[in-house]
Structure 1
């Protein structure tokens, strides 16, 4: 519907061209209005001069021309108002067209995304993920299950054997002899020096060895 009203991109370009043309026309009308206002002011000054010189007829003619200029100014003002109104409508139509185009582009993008992510595809993907998860769980359970000779072991028998080992270990600890006490440490009373051992008297061999060492030192 909006395409029928506002047209295609070619018509949008025409709207931009029209806006430019209206802006130029508005500028031209403003210039003419300013020129007429200057003429109105000039006729008023002439009428004053003729009034001071007692030339009533000439003063009236100036006022008549002033009225004509003022009528043209009013007419130009109406033209400018119509152009402003047209520009506002065109600018609003342009903004509406751009908004519709943006919405149309967004809708197309959303439609493409929905097509790429169909709900059936999503359900299928989730089913595949759940199936793979279940298969992996079964594989892990199969790998953790005991096989071979280990699968034949009786858990109750193993528990009973472990209890026997623990009882034997406790009994062995109870039957071990007590360890020897460490040698008593000699404590010296405060204020007293420990008694040093008396050195034994050197033997003749030791005296001879000492004399030989002294002689070699000399």
Structure 2
């Protein structure tokens, strides 16, 4: 190999290495200075607006071509066919724009979701750092000791409440008091029955009606009314005592 060929080979190698290094530097520079997610989303929305305006324009042109084809009809068949051909091309462009808009919309939504996820993860990272900083200032042994102190104080408070609510003075057996009350009631019942047995009997003799004039016999005297009232009261007392005894 001659020196000239070696020279050209070396120059080509150096130029290629320079080109690759310059391209790497350019790509690295682009990656470092790329658009932010907000800028990219804004550009995509501008593109969507532009394509939407173009859609409106194409739809109006299609309507115009349809009108031209109807106007010429069979009178000018060539002009009508040309109008229909233009309408077909416009419809193809409209279909392409619809597909492009779908792709741009999908890309914009993906970018918005990625931006949202980035913000969420960043905020979660801040929260994790904050929690870590809080936990660094905590001592588990101190927490256990604090919980034991709280438990002991609760037990002391419960003992104080029990001591305050305990009744003062002598305490009596409730069963003995009930038995004594039953004896008193039995004695009262027996005394009442004895008093009922000593009550005087009411005379039941009838006044002869043949010897006493009818005009002198009282129709409703007090002597006949009082015994009947007493008997009624006695019957009521007996029923009340029987009900109370049972």
- Report the TM-score when normalising by structure 2: 0.45
Greater RCO, CA 8 A, separation 6+ = 1
